[in-house]
Structure 1
Amino acid sequence: MKLKQVITLFFVTSLSYSALAQSPKARLSGKVIDAATKEAIYYATISLHPITDASKLNGTIADENGNFYLDNLSPGKYNISISFLGYKTKTFTDYTLKPGANNLGTILIEVNENALDEVVIQGERPIIENKIDRMVFNAERDVTSSGGDATDVLRKVPMLSVDIDGNVSMRGDQNVKILINGKSSAAMGSNVGDALRTIPADQIKSVEVITSPSAKYDAEGTSGIINIITKKKDIGGINGSISGGVGTRHNNGNASLNARSGKLGIIANLGGNYMWPQITTNEFEQFTIADDPIARQYSENETTRSGLRGSIGLDYDLTEKDLLTTTFSANGFEMGMDGNTSSQFFSNNNITTLLSNRDQKTVSDGFDWSADYTRKFEDPKQELSIAGQFSRSNSDTDYTTLYEQGVRLDEMGKNKSHNDELAFQADYVQPIGKTTLEVGAKTIFRDIRSTSLIKEGVNGNHEVVDARSYEFNYNQDVVAGYASYGFEFAEKYEVKTGVRMEHTILNGDAVGDFQAFKNDYTNVLPTAIISRKLGEMSNLKLSYNQRIQRPSLFYLNPFRNTADPIVQRQGNPELKPELSHNLELGYSTFKKGTIINATVFYRKTNDVIESLSQIDSLTTPGQQISLTTFDNIGTNESFGTNFFVSFSPIKNLTLRSNISLFTYEAKGNSFNEGISTETDKIHLMYRAFINGSYKISNTFIAETFLMLNSSRRTFQGTSPSMSMWTIGLKKELWNKTASIGLNITDPFWENKYFESEVFTPDYTQTNKMKLPFRSFGLTFSYNFGKADSKNKVRKERGIKMDDQKKEESNPTQG
């Protein structure tokens, strides 16, 4: 369907609804704000009934700006109440609703100091919320993810999928930017999977899936942005929580503390995870097109993983309108691999066998430090913010490979890399009547360095190999500016449009076969979203945007890891950025406890960056090595749809289901010319899950989750499919201040196999990994502390460094 036809269908549908809505009914609207802070009260409850019949109760909830609307009301006299947990209820008695529009105006509600003595303050939000530019998954009530980490939560979010290594995809595309509380993190630049494992599931409040980012966001992430929002209590006093889990495969723990008194607030968090050592096996085979063997390999490795993440943040009210915040977070994770490998090379009817032992360790660490200043004005929507952030990410890989038969020299390798990022950003929001103008500017300075040292020898006498040792320096600077304009018209329509311009300057050293280079380019990236309300809790949305994906150090680093004698990897400093065009039409509704969200989309990505597998017979003559590097392989056009539904067929039972269908078609590449496989056709992929929860009592809940992902296509082959079944039980204790739980994953499958394939004009190869999967775990949590009346909710604004393509997580196989 052409763009013109989609737009025509959108407006014809909208006008049809408008025609049906013409009737002599009343409409009630208003806005709910905190009487002291003048902040909007998100999720305030508005209820009303005719004064003559209290059984005819009607109502709604306020949106993120505190606004609410109720349509199709019969004119007459009503009793109206506005309430929210922790606040005094506001009432309007004998209020006369006239035909047409009725506006209660700005409604101020006051904090109920007596209610603030409650330790836990929580509301029953719907599991899915839809906003003009994003979908929000509220993860707080999830049971089977309790005791797990962020990857367990993301697997349950519509439109997202997570593979066995922790790589996250949005509608089939791994080029997604992940933010933590609206900000980039250096941890996500070195190893996304391990970084996500350091975030406990119990600390995640919600996940925002931003498929249509506005111009104020960095344009990074061709498929969109994922924003993980952690739990935070903006209430006075001292309070916190302790949570964790102990299991047969994974263990984790987390502690958080919130302290707020007067103008000063402090938030601290510390969490970690540890995986018991596990044995994985890997079978690799490579054949010519004529099906003759080229190489075979079998390896068995003991793998360990661990991670630690901590943060501390302070905010201080300089005045009633000036807020200063600063946050420091640090992270570290480690992966070890120790095992034996048997490798066979087939050449001219001769078979060469290598027996080797590999000991490899990868350690990554880093920190982010940010400082933000926010200035409020008389109009609470008017705001100026200035922010700065410095991040450092380090990654060290050390390995030793020993050969038993002396056919090859023993080898030791070290690679130390770091990425320094310094960013400054300024944003200004100016309300103009019922419209909003946002403008801003940002600069990012990146200094990327990688030092490689390779030694070869026997019996511990190793010498440096100068031809394979080097220092690589790479600079990437970005200067950006944007303007965004949002407005409402015809009561039911909301529009947000904008444009962002980003200028990139690159400078890289010569390394090995790669030439030194300098390059700069400018991208003008438009965005547009139009949304129409269809009744009280339904809407239709059409959006278009352009996004860019710059390669990060993982893809650029020319370090060649030769720890494995057959399977090796190397980055490509000469990669160009990806550029995508995204078009989406979405519908969502929430009625009588049922949530439906449906979207169709089209995405075209130019200069797609993918892994490229090829045979290298030059490094070690007579032994052909499977080398994986990266290249811009051409263009990918993808069509897709996503459908999510949540409903309660019987009391206390809630069922949720999601299915995503999307295509992959690689065009314009010359790497596979002459190949007679299915790699050059349109491929259909899917991702589906079903989730059921049953409330046994007010303090006891049971939940199950079943997920199925198809194989992921690349232009050269497939990556593994994945399925998972989890069961969870959670019992709340001590007036819901504590809980214990039981989680079970795949109880009937001790191990699982993950198979990937590669097709090239010259050869094919398969890789099959066996991984322990079944697990049992116990979880616990405890909330402590007491609130006081000095509650003050703040909207967080700050720097967002979110403009680079992130790596796939390190696989557990060799």
Structure 2
Amino acid sequence: MNKVTFLYVLFLFSAVFAYAQKPTSPQVTITGKIVDAKTNEPLEYATVVLKDIKTQKLSGGITDEKGNFNIKTPKGTYEVSFEFISFKTVKLPNRVIDKSMSFGTIKLKEDAEVLDEINIVAEKTTVEIRLDKRIYNVGKDLTVKGASASDVLDNIPSVNVDVEGNVSLRGSENVRILIDGKPSALVGLSGTDALRQLPSDAIERVEVITSPSARYDAEGTAGILNIILRKGKATGFNGSINTTIGDPTQLQIAPNINLRTKRFNLFTNLGYSYRKGPGNSLTNLSAFENGVLQSTRIEDREFERERKGFNGNFGLEVFLTKNSSITGTFFIRDSDNGSGSTNNIGVFDALGAQTLSDIRIQDEEETDKTTQFSLNYTNNFNTKGHKLTVDFQYSDSEEVETAFINDSSGVENNLTEENSQNTLVQTDYVLPLGKNSQFEAGYRGQFQDLTSDFLVTRTPPLAFDPSNNLVFNQNVNAIYSQYGSKINKFSFLLGLRSEITDVKVRLVNTNDNFDYNYTEFFPTINLGYERTEKQSFTLGYSRRLRRPRFWFLNPFESRNSQNVIFKGNPGLIPTFTNSFDLGYLQKIGKFTVNSSIYYQHAVNNIERVSRDEIRPIGPGGTNEVVTIREPINLSSEDRYGFELTTNYSPSKTVRLSGSFNFFRTQTEGSYLYEQFSIDNNNNIVSTPVEQDLGNSNSSWFARFNSRITLPGKIQWQTRMFYRGPRKTAQSEIKGLFSANLAFSKDVFKEKGTLVLNVSDVFNSRKRQSLTFNPSRDNPTTINDQEFQWRVRQISLNFTYRFNQKKNQRDRQRRGGDDFEGGGEEFGGRP
């Protein structure tokens, strides 16, 4: 952190703490205890709601682990309510509170009708709406039982995970993924692989943040996906064990264990998985000259992947005082993966006669080990949201990949070694101002040091050596402040974030250096209007950026195919986006509609583009067309769309939900590159070309979920997804449909649950695309490709819970979440 940043942070917190010492108006204190009327056990996280009869304003608090509450409030006349999920509410109307007083012991009785409802809630994905985000409680969603974090995300409205594991939000892959609100080693060096290895049972909820407040990173132009891991809140020793078997080969065990006492909370999420599954791809690369077909290259590749991985998350929370705690967490991921592929290659002339036949065999081994240590200090000064948190996190990731390739032109060995150290320092301070306002400020420092060494050796040597060694350093210092308030039915949250970025890219083999230093400001505005309890409006604005990740900057060339290659671009600069989001929520009886209209304007937008080169390939070094795919900065992109999510529950046995997202993009920009050709003397010559990549495209995707209770209390869940076709200036991607089925049955007096899951029932989850180089209007090559990452999966999952009721676990979690402090929760309601 430079001196200017340090002085700014020091001044900011000095001002905040000085303000915090200002005297407040005199208040009285109400105390009491809430217990279960049947067992006399204290109810932790029960709520006390104070409704001012005169102003109709709400305030209140929650009970501690002994069921006690201690709440400060101004003098007045209130309607006092004592509530706990699945218990009947006790109300005391027109209670005059003009001095400190005790309500004694309040006994709540269970509500049988609500208990039936809670059992269903615990089994489904529920949604909570906040001023700046939507929260999806994963619960016991059947279609993701025994699956991974990727499958969980793919089941969330607004989110899509393609066949290669790339995550997109509202059709854009420029999305930031956080774990427990922070960048994490759980995402790893290769985010898609890490998400596939994190078991779904370790996830409690996913927050979809399309209009992030200033508290969050400015990274991610489409928004943020925040994955919250499970941390037990129930007192005593409890947990669950989750096991899965499947075909193609799938074995998984994921225990979650928790021990909570008055002094500490010990929690752990473990997971071991073994998967072995086939995949395939078919590539048809046609070359043209003046619109006339010259040759066709067909690559038919079959591959088999083997993945073994262990994930361990160990945490200890120590309660220092009634309001403060310190939590240490250690995470480790250790995986050993392998894959083998056979690529049958055939080259044909214009008349269809075969001129070359080859088999390219590739065997890969990859080890990935990540460790992360986190330390958190939290001090809740009172029950009104006055809070200070301090975080420190350090992670070390190492990935080693070896590949052996054999074809008729020779033998090739590839070695890739990547190592990354990441350090995070963060502090957040929340200060309530009066009853309905609060101020928040904080600092976050993220520091990454990464090396990537890619070595290719081949006999005989390649005419073009793709080996390279990259050193990447990125330091980001950020400070923010925000202020929020609620005036009657209107809420607002205004924030400003400043991020100072220092990036260094070193290409050791070529001695090329790329340095980027910039300071940017990111304002955020979130407005909310709650017209009634069943109707509300939100409006959000944020400025955000997309920093190129190291794999987009690394110019190494993929080696799965000799003729279709992806490489990075070290000259990429960040994308900056201004985003607007208008949301509407309406509840009509058992029908809920949540919709939004959004618009984004991006400059220096990062897009993947394609171009052709002529290289000596194959036996004898024959000159052939090679398609190069790489990311570049285009001038601008305008994206706008409409999103609709609905939920309908006609009865306790039938629950239906659906989502629809339509979006349109308008891209402007050009691509300057060297176009290669062969002259009459069979020499390779190049010509500079500037290609217009301006393009407009409309697309959509829809998701439907149904949950039906069959006779015998068997739960039947169906999920269907369709993504419409898309196109860019150089490519067309066909529509994709997939469907999942799941059936579950509780056993052992609801301590255990069996789930039969069929993923991709019709084996239709395939990406089919056409790429035209240099353009669709006048192509010199057309690449027709079909890719399937995994085939249909059938699995059987069994979960056993000990000292843990389904409904009890869920309501304790929900009771705590509704009263979490922090600026990101301000103005929200479930």
Report TM bin, short chain.
0.7 to 0.9
Q: Deviations over 1:473-519 (max 9, x none)?
A: 12111111111110112x00000010101111112223456721222
State the shift of 1:103 in Å: 13
CA distance in 2, matches of 1:546, 1:648: 38
CA distance in 1, matches of 2:440, 2:389: 11
Q: Taking structure 1 as reference, are residues 435 and 797 closer, same or farther at Cα in structure 2, changes over 3 Å only?
A: closer
Contact 1:502 1:524 in 2 (8 A): yes
Structure 1 counterpart of 2:360: 356
Contact 1:699 1:736 in 2 (8 A): no
Structure 2 counterpart of 1:4: none
CA distance in 2, matches of 1:33, 1:201: 41
CA distance in 2, matches of 1:725, 1:171: 20
Q: Taking structure 1 as reference, are residues 675 and 344 closer, same or farther at Cα in structure 2, changes over 3 Å only?
A: farther
State the shift of 1:146 in Å: 1.9
State the shift of 1:782 in Å: 0.7
State the shift of 1:294 in Å: 5.3
- Is 1:695 aligned to 2:696, yes or no? no
Structure 1 counterpart of 2:658: 657
Q: Taking structure 1 as reference, are residues 473 and 279 closer, same or farther at Cα in structure 2, changes over 3 Å only?
A: closer
- Is 1:178 aligned to 2:177, yes or no? yes
**Residue 499 of structure 2: which of 502, 508, 511 is its match?**
502
Q: What RMSD in Å do the two structures reach over aligned CA positions? A: 4.2
- Is 1:487 aligned to 2:500, yes or no? no
Q: Taking structure 1 as reference, are residues 572 and 335 closer, same or farther at Cα in structure 2, changes over 3 Å only?
A: farther
Pairing of 1:11-410 with structure 2 (within 5 A): 82-85=82-85, 91-93=90-92, 95-96=93-94, 124=121, 127-249=126-248, 250-288=250-288, 290-292=291-293, 293=295, 295-344=297-346, 351-378=355-382, 380-404=384-408, 408-410=409-411
Q: Taking structure 1 as reference, are residues 576 and 107 closer, same or farther at Cα in structure 2, changes over 3 Å only?
A: farther
State the shift of 1:591 in Å: 4.1
Q: Deviations over 1:675-715 (max 9, x none)?
A: 99997432111110111111236843211111111234444
Q: Taking structure 1 as reference, are residues 274 and 611 closer, same or farther at Cα in structure 2, changes over 3 Å only?
A: farther
The DSSP-based 3-state class of the residue aligned with 1:144 is helix
- Is 1:734 aligned to 2:733, yes or no? no
Structure 2 counterpart of 1:525: 522
CA distance in 2, matches of 1:705, 1:378: 44
Q: Taking structure 1 as reference, are residues 752 and 541 closer, same or farther at Cα in structure 2, changes over 3 Å only?
A: closer
CA distance in 1, matches of 2:463, 2:221: 40
State the shift of 1:305 in Å: 3.1
Q: Which moved more, 1:350-359 or 1:327-336?
A: 350-359
Structure 2 counterpart of 1:21: none
Amino acid at match of 2:536: N
State the shift of 1:659 in Å: 0.6
CA distance in 1, matches of 2:43, 2:527: 23
Contact 1:168 1:176 in 2 (8 A): yes
Q: Which moved more, 1:600-609 or 1:186-195?
A: 186-195
Structure 1 counterpart of 2:565: 568
Contact 1:187 1:195 in 2 (8 A): yes
State the shift of 1:548 in Å: 1.0
The DSSP-based 3-state class of the residue aligned with 1:320 is coil
Q: Deviations over 1:755-795 (max 9, x none)?
A: 12212224321112356633322111011136999x99698
The DSSP-based 3-state class of the residue aligned with 2:624 is coil
CA distance in 2, matches of 1:91, 1:308: 48
Structure 2 counterpart of 1:685: 699
State the shift of 1:569 in Å: 2.3
State the shift of 1:605 in Å: 1.7
Structure 2 counterpart of 1:708: 722
CA distance in 1, matches of 2:821, 2:91: 35
Amino acid at match of 2:490: Y
Q: Deviations over 1:84-120 (max 9, x none)?
A: 1498x66335x3599xxx99999989798999xx9x9
State the shift of 1:534 in Å: 1.6
- Is 1:602 aligned to 2:616, yes or no? no
Q: Taking structure 1 as reference, are residues 595 and 247 closer, same or farther at Cα in structure 2, changes over 3 Å only?
A: same
Pairing of 1:757-772 with structure 2 (within 5 A): 757-761=770-774, 762-770=780-788
Structure 1 counterpart of 2:16: none
Amino acid at match of 1:451: D
Q: Deviations over 1:583-626 (max 9, x none)?
A: 01000123433221000000112222222322232465613222
CA distance in 1, matches of 2:719, 2:103: 42
Q: Which moved more, 1:614-623 or 1:463-472?
A: 463-472
Structure 2 counterpart of 1:775: 793
Pairing of 1:520-599 with structure 2 (within 5 A): 520-599=517-596
Amino acid at match of 1:758: T
The DSSP-based 3-state class of the residue aligned with 1:287 is strand
CA distance in 2, matches of 1:711, 1:332: 38
Specify which structure has the bigger relative contact order, considering alpha-carbon pairs within 8 angstroms and separated by 6 or more residues: 1
Structure 1 counterpart of 2:777: none
The DSSP-based 3-state class of the residue aligned with 2:800 is strand
CA distance in 2, matches of 1:181, 1:636: 31
Structure 1: runs of 5+ lacking an equivalent: 1-30, 49-60, 67-76, 801-814
- TM-score of the superposition, structure 2-length normalised? 0.79
Q: Which moved more, 1:520-529 or 1:688-697?
A: 688-697
CA distance in 2, matches of 1:648, 1:786: 27
Contact 2:437 2:485 in 1 (8 A): yes
Count of residue pairs brought into register by the alignment: 729
The DSSP-based 3-state class of the residue aligned with 1:216 is coil
State the shift of 1:225 in Å: 0.8
Contact 2:670 2:693 in 1 (8 A): no
Structure 2 counterpart of 1:623: 624
State the shift of 1:579 in Å: 1.1
CA distance in 1, matches of 2:754, 2:100: 45
CA distance in 2, matches of 1:696, 1:33: 47
Q: Deviations over 1:287-331 (max 9, x none)?
A: 336252353322222233343311101111222333111111122
Q: Taking structure 1 as reference, are residues 455 and 353 closer, same or farther at Cα in structure 2, changes over 3 Å only?
A: same
Amino acid at match of 1:238: F
Report % sequence identity. 25
Contact 1:450 1:472 in 2 (8 A): yes
Structure 2 counterpart of 1:472: 470
Contact 2:737 2:764 in 1 (8 A): no
State the shift of 1:745 in Å: 3.1
Contact 1:32 1:109 in 2 (8 A): no
Q: Deviations over 1:150-181 (max 9, x none)?
A: 22222221111111122211100011111222
Structure 2 counterpart of 1:808: none
Contact 1:300 1:341 in 2 (8 A): yes
State the shift of 1:396 in Å: 2.1
CA distance in 2, matches of 1:329, 1:177: 21
Contact 2:126 2:139 in 1 (8 A): no
Contact 2:668 2:695 in 1 (8 A): no
CA distance in 1, matches of 2:276, 2:30: 50
- TM-score of the superposition, structure 1-length normalised? 0.80
CA distance in 2, matches of 1:34, 1:546: 46
The DSSP-based 3-state class of the residue aligned with 1:518 is strand
CA distance in 2, matches of 1:313, 1:127: 26
State the shift of 1:393 in Å: 2.4
Structure 2: runs of 5+ lacking an equivalent: 1-28, 36-41, 52-57, 64-76, 676-687, 775-779, 825-830
CA distance in 2, matches of 1:467, 1:553: 21
Q: Which moved more, 1:363-372 or 1:764-773?
A: 764-773
Amino acid at match of 1:365: K
Contact 1:271 1:309 in 2 (8 A): yes
Contact 2:163 2:766 in 1 (8 A): no
Q: Taking structure 1 as reference, are residues 231 and 537 closer, same or farther at Cα in structure 2, changes over 3 Å only?
A: farther
